[in-house]
Amino acid sequence: MPLNPVISKLSGKLVVLASASPRRLEILSNAGLRFEVVPSWFKETLDKSLFKHPCEYAVETAKQKALEVAQRMPFKHLKTPDIVIGADTVVTVDGLILEKPTDKQDAYRMLSRLSGKEHSVFTGVAIVICRDKNSSVTDYKVVDFYEETKVKFAELSEEMLWEYINSGEPMDKAGGYGIQALGGMLVEYVRGDFLNVVGFPLNHFCKQLGSIFNSPPASPAHKIKRDCDEAWTLVNKTTNGDVELLENVKDDSLTSVQEQNVMGLEFAKCNRQDVPHSIISLLDGFKVSKTLFTASKLKVFDVLNTPGGLTLEEVAGQINASLLGTERLLEAAVSLGLLERVRQEEISVYRNTEQASRFLVTDSPVSLHGYILHCNDMVWPLFSHLESAVREGTSQHERAFGKKKEDVFQDVYYSKDEVKIRFMDAMHSIARVTGKDLATAFDLSCYKTACDIGGCTGAMAYEFTKAHPELSVTIFDLPQVIEMRRHFQPKENDERVSFVAGDFFKDDLPKADLYILARVLHDWSDEKLHVLLSKLSKMWTPGCGLLVSEILLDEERRRPSRALLQALSMTEGKQRSTAEYSALLDKHGFTLKHVKHTDNLLDAMLFVKEEQNDKRTLLGCSSASIETAELE
């Protein structure tokens, strides 16, 4: 529960932190903000001599970091964020900007300068607000500010200096110290925001959010005053690369570096069409995917799941690969924000980013490793024959695998156990990542029993029983799937989760108050869906509900969508919008009541029988869920 009421207003928005800093992540997470981490690719090579004051340098770096992520995400991540937060922290003493030390000697020079002196810590923050004007134009409104904190170091002896440097802590921190850890022992006093020294000025950030979301806009393009230079900035970027910088400058407050920015942007406005960045990003997209696939297949992230990181030689030895190939793979992964390269004791080591540790390490509770391997082994070969798929309008299993689709299906479910386990592990990955958000999407308190149709390993079911203590869930899936469930069951067995074998097209469904169809409807033809939905309709009793989870298309099909790209595999099913799923279910008597866009891989819809609405209320389901869910 966020203490600041402004942060709660960001609920439901796609907020992105353009930084891999674990300290900034922790500060914002503790404040109750929900966000994704997408590290910026902006190279911090701005010429410091062009800036009149260190705060200007920190603010400009933060802005460039945030804008790079805001402009990249629609093409690399296939989604447009609502808000992107960029930040940059610098330490200054005697007019010199100190960033992260390059090696131990550099750390020694920095800390020696700070010894016995008061210095300033500046954090520049940029908040980029993204608004889609139409399918081809996005507005980027930039609000930036800075915070200054004064810090006084004690007189440091040579022994203390080197003891601290040899701890390794200074190497990835601006100014060569971390005040929240061992570096706090070097500090005599702090005047100002302590969290600003850690890496993010939370108090100032919340105040800026308040001015953005609580103040009525003066015009459709509301301009926010900058602290540093009294310039007001609004950046508009279109997908063809045109960039406009609109300045409302008070007197002569435009700095020389800002004049250079304006000149550069004017040049870009005239010439950027010769550099189609969005098309180039799409052109290289397959290389990005294959980098992730290869690193996962070689278990690079498992190898680097160790404190402190490993050298290039150590990684190459453990994955049994050449030094040249390993170096290029690791460097590519660093550029994608999957790994970090840091200096330790005059050598470079590689380590996982926070996201990689959470989602790419095999034994992580929410690992996507299984699904990534499935994409590499099964989906990638199909898409290598996309031209034939488009010409013929058929799936390309025969060209990709030398077998018909039906035979590939037989291999998955009826061949050796390891083949089945690989496929089930892929489905298990998606269920673990999406399960909690789906289980908590609606008020399900009136339901006591549920049936997860095609529930595979039960990963989704376990999330539902965690979220709803009074609910028991039955997984209904093919016998070959059910017999392999022991490979995926959690250590602490939940007696409320049970398994029943059967074919949902042929066999009777278990009775339940709530039926769950997660990633099922998009796979099958209308004829087969008619069979399944007719069976469900006949099973219906007063008070029943149907929870459907799929990737929901936007009605106009204008935004990039994983669902539209997935449809190119030419399965017999189809991807649908909310309205289309509603129309499909309506033919079988189901009425859409609630829709929830989870900001996760899957969205959720809750259906009921129209004639039984009043009975559901009597059974205890809260009508308040209508208010909390996003309705379409």
Give the residue numbers annotated as catalytic, written as ranges: 88
φ, ψ (nearest 5 deg) of residue 309: 90, 175
- Which residues contact residue 501 at a Cβ distance below 8 angstroms, ignoring those fewer than 6 apart? 476, 477, 478, 479, 482, 483
Handedness of CA 392, 396, 398, 402 (dihedral sign): positive
Kind plus residue range of the DSSP H or E element containing 71: helix 54-76
Task: Using the CB atoms, write b or e for 374-388: b if 16+ within 10 Å.
Answer: bbbebbeebbebeee
- Which residues contact residue 406 at a Cβ distance below 8 angstroms, ignoring those fewer than 6 apart? none
Residue with tokens 């099973």: 539
DSSP 442: S
Residue (of 83, 329, 88, 109) closest to 209 by Cα position: 83
Which class for 427: exposed (0-12), middle (13-18), buried (19 or more C-beta within 10 A)?
buried
- Which residues contact residue 295 at a Cβ distance below 8 angstroms, ignoring those fewer than 6 apart? 301, 329, 333, 338, 360
Residue (of 102, 95, 67, 99) closest to 83 by Cα position: 67
Reduced DSSP (H G I as helix, E B as strand, rest coil) percent helix, strand, coil of the chain, to 5:
45, 20, 35
Residue with tokens 């540790």: 357
Residue with tokens 């969508």: 561
C-alpha atoms less than 13 angstroms from C-alpha of 6 in its C-beta half-sphere:
14
Residue (of 592, 609, 589) closest to 552 by Cα position: 592
- Which residues contact residue 549 at a Cβ distance below 8 angstroms, ignoring those fewer than 6 apart? 434, 438, 516, 517, 518, 519, 602, 603, 604, 605
Are 85 and 46 in contact by the 8 Å Cβ rule? The answer is no
Are 305 and 362 in contact by the 8 Å Cβ rule? The answer is no
Instruction: Say how far apart CA 71 and CA 84 lie, in whole Å.
Output: 10
